[in-house]
Amino acid sequence: MRIFYFVLLMVLFSAAGAQAQNRPVGFADNAIPSTVHFYPNPATSIITFEDFAKKYDKNYTIQLFNFLGKKVYEFNLADQKNIVNLSDFFRGIYIYQLRDPTGKIVESGKFQVNK
């Protein structure tokens, strides 16, 4: 009888978990589309940031942070295509932040480095 209850509990918990995963995450259809495009993700040796929707001038910057929050790289939007060499980056998750000239975060996201 104990085995029956155990199996029944496992089935109930697995069914409840499947329903929880079908919930929408974040904001539904009114999310702001991303203006920063980067590839490849995950990256190994380089990552390319490009196509800033032609609405940001050269005073905007992109800052890259490791997962501990330490700034590891920064560049200005001088070109429509910016290539970052990842040879000094360790394997892991990195955060990018697009900042306006006053330092306000306009957009942020994450990418992965695999080596």
Each of the 115 residues of the chain gets a pLDDT tens digit; together they read 767 655 555 655 555 444 444 444 444 445 566 678 899 999 999 999 987 656 677 788 999 999 999 999 999 887 778 899 999 999 999 999 999 999 999 999 999 999 8
- For position 21, what pLDDT does the model report? 42
Domain positions in the chain: 35-115
What confidence score (pLDDT) does residue 81 get?
84
Q: Which residues pair with 98 in a beta bridge?
A: 62, 107
Give me the CATH topology for the region 35-115. Answer: Immunoglobulin-like (2.60.40)
Taking CA 47 as the corner, what is the angle to CA 76 and CA 92, rounded to the nearest 5 degrees? Answer: 110
pLDDT, position 28 = 46
Predicted pLDDT of residue 86: 95
